[in-house]
Structure 1
Amino acid sequence: MPSISHHGEHNAEFPLRSNTGSTKNTKSDHTTIAPGEIAIGVVIGRASEYFDFFVYAIASVLVFPMVFFPFVPRLEGTLYAFTIFSFAFLARPFGTIIFMSIQHHLGREAKLTMALVLLGFSTAGIAFLPTFSHLGVTAIVLLSVLRVGQGIALGGAWDGLPSLLALNAPQNKRGWYAMLGQLGAPFGFMIAGSIFAFLISNTTAEDFLEWGWRFPFYVAFAINVVALFARLRLVSTNEYARLLDERELEPTKVTELVSSQGRNVLIGALAALASYALFHLVTVFPLSWITLYSPRNLSDFLYIQVGGAALMAVSVVLSGLIADRFGRRNTLGTLALMIAVLSGFVPTLLDGGEQGQNIFILLGFVLLGLSYGQAAGAVTANFAAKYRYTGAALTSDLAWLVGAGFAPLVALGLSSHFGLAYVSLYLLSGAACSMAALSLNRALEIRD
C-alpha cells in the first residue's frame, strides 16, 4: 500500500489537505506513515481493548456470580455482576475528559502510555483479586474499583487514529476505512470466547473457578503490552503529529464542545443505538440466559458465538463496501430497520431450542457486523474541525453508555421477571432511536 507523502498522485494516496483545503506539498525529513500502518494501528489498538472488554464480560456470566456473589442465587449474582459490568461505561466519559487534559499538558504519548498502563494494571489486578470467600465484601469493592479503572483507561486510550483514518480516506472509500477499527470487536470476541471455551472443556468446574478463569486476564495484560508498543510506535512519530495537527485533531474543552456542538454529540450517540444495543444482546446476554435457563453445553455455545463473531468480521468488511455504494447513513438506517425486524423474533428463537438459538446468534452477529461496521462516527462529519477529536471520543462514550452499558443487566432482568418479549421491546426501542436520530440528522443537514 502506498505511503502518505507530500508529492504523490491524488488517486494513489490519502489526500492530505490543510484547513483551507489546499494540498500540502512541502517536504519533510521525518518518516512518512503508510495508510496501512494507520489501519494496523487502529485494528491492533481496538482488538486489544475489545479483548479486555469481552474477557470481563464473559467472566461476569461464568465466574463472578459464584466467586464474588456466592451468598445469593445465581440469577441475582449475575445481575449484581452485570451492575458492576456497567461501571466501566459510566466511568468512560470521565476518563476521556481526564486524559484529554493530560494530553493537553503532557502530550499524546504520555496520555496513551498512562491510559494503557492503567488498563493493564486494572485488568491484571482482577486476575490476582481474592474472592468473596477470602476477603468478603472487600473483594466486591476491589472488583468495582478495578472495573472503574478499566472504564477510565478505555476513555483515555482514545488516540484519534479512527478519525485520522476517516478524514484522510478518499471520498469514495470512507465507509471502507471507517470499518477497519470496528474489526477489533469480532477479533477480540473470537480470542476471548475461544480461550474461555477451551478452559471450560479442559478443566474441572472446581479448577476453572479456582484458577482457570484468571488465565484470560493474564493474556489480556500481555496483549495490552504488545498493543501499547504497537500504538506508541505510530503515535510517537513526527509524521503522525503533523497529520493530527493538519486536521486539527486536538483536545478541546468539553464545556466548549457541548455548548457549540451538543446537538451533534446527542445525535451521534443515538444514531448508532441499534448497533450498540444488539452488541450485547448477541454476546453477553445470550450467554447468561443459556447459563441460567438452558441445559446446553457452555463451551459448545461459546464456540457457536465464536463462529458468529467470525461471520461478524466478514460482515464488517462488507459494510465498508455497502456504505461506499449506498452511503453510511442509508446503510445504518436500513440495518436499524432490519434489527427492528429481528427484535420481533427474539422470544421465538431463544426459546426454540438449540437450532433457534443458533439462528439467533449467527443472524444477530451478521446484522451486528453490517451495522456496527459503520456505527463509529456515522455523523461525526457534522463536527467542526476543531471539535472532531474530542467530539468523536465523547460521542462514542455516550453511545456505549446509553446503548450497551446496561443492556445485559436490563435484558436479563426483564427476561427473567417478565419474559423474553420485553427483550424484543428493548431492542426495538434502540432501533427506533437510531432511525429517528438519522432522520433528524438528515433533516437538520438539509435545513442548514
Structure 2
Amino acid sequence: MAHDYQPHAPAVVLAERDTKAVPGPGSESDTRNEPGKMRRVASASFVGSLVEFYDFNIYGFAAALVFGKLFFPALGPAAGTVAAFATLGVAFVARPVGSILFGHFGDRLGRKRTLVTTLLMMGISTSLVGLMPTADQIGAVAPVLLVLLRVLQGLAAGGEWAGAALFVVENAPKQKRGFWAMFASLGGGAALTLAPVTFLLTGFGMTDEHFLSYGWRIPFLASSVLIVIGLYIRLRMEESPVFKTEQAQHGASRMPFFEAFKRQPREILLAGGAMIITPSFGYLGASYLTSYGATVLGLSRTQVLTMSSIGGAMLTLGIGLAGAYSDRIGRRKVIIAAALVAVPWALILFPLISIGSTMAFAAGMCVTMFISGCSLGPMSAFMSELFHTRYRYTAAGFSYNIAQIIGGAATPLLAAWMTARFGGFIFGIFLAFLALISLVCILRIAETKEYELDRTPLSRGE
C-alpha cells in the first residue's frame, strides 16, 4: 500500500480507516474531561516531576556552592567550579540514553510502571550523594563516585519529563491539553523554587564552615521523604487510555526508537532544536548565575539563594501562563514569542548583572527564568501531540533530552569558561545564537493543538 510522505506537512498523517472508525474506549472522542480524574492525573504528574527535578536540581546548587571545594580542591576556585559544572553536565549526556531506555519500556510496557522506576532510581542515587565522602576523606575516588551517581540521576531524568507530560496529555480533553499538560512542567518549575529554598533554610544560622562540612548534605537526604510521597501517588495511577487503546488495537512497537526515527526523523530533530531555549536559559539561571552571584559579584549565600528561589517562582509563573494560553492561540505562537524576547535579552543580561547590585542581579535572574518558563509551558503538550502513540514516549523524550545536552549541559559549562576568558557579553552572543536556533526550528514545525492523539502513523514508502 503506497502513500506519499510529505516532509514539510504537519506531522499528522491519518489512515483513512481511522478517520472513519468508531471511537474506542481510549480514543480522543471518548470523554476525558471528568474534573476529578484530571485533577488526580495532573497531581500525579506534578508531584512526580517535583520530586524528580528537586533531586536533579539540588545537585546543580551544590555544584555551584560547594562541590568545587569538596571534590576538586586541588584545582583551585576557578578550575574547581568548572570541574563541578562538568560533573553536572555528565548527567545531561546520560539523559538521551535514559530517554531511549525508559522510552522503550514506556512505549512497550506502559507509562505508569516506567514512571515509578525513574522515580526510584532518582531517589536512591540522590540520597547516596548526600552520604558521599569528600576528596579529603577518600581522595580521587570521591569525584569518580560522584560522577557515577550523577549518571544514574541523568538516566532517571531522561525518562521522567516526557513520560509525565504525555501521561497527562493522553488523559486530557483536547481543548484543554495545554492547560493540563503544563502541570508536568510546573513540577519541574516548583522544584527549581524548592531546591534553593531548601539550601537557604538548611544554611540559615549556619556558618560557612558548618555548611561546607555537613549542611549541604541535608537537602539530599531530605529528598527521601519526597520520594515516599511521590511513589505513593504514582503507584495509585491508572494507565493512560490512549496507550491502552493503542496496545489493544495495534500492539506494542518492537523497537520504538528505530520506528520513531523511521517515521518522524525531521520532527524529532526540529523539536529538539526548538527546545534548546528552555534549558539554556533555565539552567543558566538555576546553576551558573547562582555561582556567578556568589563568586564574581561577591553576593552572600543567602542573597544568591533568595534570588534563585524567586527566579524559580518566575519560571513557574511563566510555565503556567504560557501553558494555559497555548490552548487559545496555539503552542507554536507562544514558543515563538518567547524566542523573540530571548534573543535581545541574552545580549542585555551580563551587562545588567555586571552592575553588581542586588537588584540588577535579581532582575537578571527573574527575567531569564521567566523566559525559560514561557518557552517550557506549551512544550509538554506540543511534544506529546507531535509524535504518534506507538513511540511517543521515546520520541518526545529523545527530542527533549538532546536539547538538554546543548542547553543544560553545555551552557553552564561554557558560561563558566567564556565569561572568565572573554567576558559576559561574548557569552551573551552565544546565548542569543542558541535562542535563534530554537526560533528557526519552531518556525519549521506545524501547529499541533488540533492534532488527534490516537491517529495511526504512515511511514515513508508504505
Q: Measured at CA, do residues 202 and 140 of structure 1 come closer, stay the same or move farther in structure 2, by a change above 3 Å? A: same
Moved more, 104-113 or 186-195: 104-113
| Residue 39 of structure 2 is aligned to residue 36 of structure 1 | yes
Distance 2:219 2:252 in 1: 35
Letter aligned with residue 434 of structure 1? S
Letter aligned with residue 44 of structure 1? V
- Give the C-alpha shift of residue 290 in structure 1: 1.4
Match for residue 70 of structure 1 among 61, 73, 82: 73
> What is aligned with 2:10?
none
Q: Measured at CA, do residues 120 and 204 of structure 1 come closer, stay the same or move farther in structure 2, by a change above 3 Å? A: same
Task: Give TM-score, length-normalised by structure 1.
Answer: 0.87
- Give the C-alpha shift of residue 122 in structure 1: 0.9
Q: Measured at CA, do residues 19 and 54 of structure 1 come closer, stay the same or move farther in structure 2, by a change above 3 Å? A: farther
Q: Measured at CA, do residues 260 and 311 of structure 1 come closer, stay the same or move farther in structure 2, by a change above 3 Å? A: same
- Give the C-alpha shift of residue 117 in structure 1: 2.5
Does structure 2 conserve the Cα–Cα contact (< 8 Å) formed by 1:19 and 1:247? no
Moved more, 149-158 or 376-385: 376-385
| Residue 435 of structure 2 is aligned to residue 431 of structure 1 | yes
Moved more, 245-254 or 217-226: 245-254
Partner of 1:294, secondary structure, is: coil
* 1:389-428 aligned within 5 A: 389-428=393-432
Aligned residues: 420
Partner of 2:236, secondary structure, is: helix
Letter aligned with residue 414 of structure 2? V
Does structure 1 conserve the Cα–Cα contact (< 8 Å) formed by 2:116 and 2:234? no
> What is aligned with 2:134?
131
Does structure 2 conserve the Cα–Cα contact (< 8 Å) formed by 1:376 and 1:396? no
> What is aligned with 1:166?
169
Partner of 2:403, secondary structure, is: helix
Distance 2:385 2:109 in 1: 28
- Give the C-alpha shift of residue 107 in structure 1: 6.0
> What is aligned with 2:244?
245
RMSD between aligned residues: 2.7
- Give the C-alpha shift of residue 260 in structure 1: 2.1
Moved more, 415-424 or 101-110: 101-110
Partner of 1:180, secondary structure, is: helix
Does structure 2 conserve the Cα–Cα contact (< 8 Å) formed by 1:93 and 1:397? yes
| Residue 215 of structure 2 is aligned to residue 212 of structure 1 | yes
- Give the C-alpha shift of residue 106 in structure 1: 6.7
Partner of 1:188, secondary structure, is: helix
Aligned sequence identity (%) = 28
| Residue 314 of structure 2 is aligned to residue 311 of structure 1 | yes
Residue by residue over 1:332-370, the C-alpha shift from the partner in whole angstroms, topping out at 9 and shown as x without a partner, is: 011101011211201221111222212111222222222
Q: Unpaired runs of 5+ in structure 2?
A: 1-17, 27-33, 451-459
Distance 2:355 2:48 in 1: 38
Task: Give TM-score, length-normalised by structure 2.
Answer: 0.84
Match for residue 56 of structure 1 among 44, 56, 59: 59
Q: Unpaired runs of 5+ in structure 1?
A: 1-17, 27-31
Match for residue 189 of structure 1 among 187, 192, 200: 192
Distance 2:125 2:294 in 1: 27
Residue by residue over 1:372-408, the C-alpha shift from the partner in whole angstroms, topping out at 9 and shown as x without a partner, is: 2123353543323322222112122212122212211
Does structure 2 conserve the Cα–Cα contact (< 8 Å) formed by 1:411 and 1:426? no
Letter aligned with residue 283 of structure 2? H
Does structure 2 conserve the Cα–Cα contact (< 8 Å) formed by 1:268 and 1:380? no
- Give the C-alpha shift of residue 299 in structure 1: 0.9
Residue by residue over 1:171-217, the C-alpha shift from the partner in whole angstroms, topping out at 9 and shown as x without a partner, is: 33232123221111221122111111123332111111111100000
Q: Measured at CA, do residues 83 and 161 of structure 1 come closer, stay the same or move farther in structure 2, by a change above 3 Å? A: closer
- Give the C-alpha shift of residue 302 in structure 1: 1.2
Does structure 1 conserve the Cα–Cα contact (< 8 Å) formed by 2:107 and 2:394? no
Distance 1:420 1:175 in 2: 36
- Give the C-alpha shift of residue 159 in structure 1: 7.3
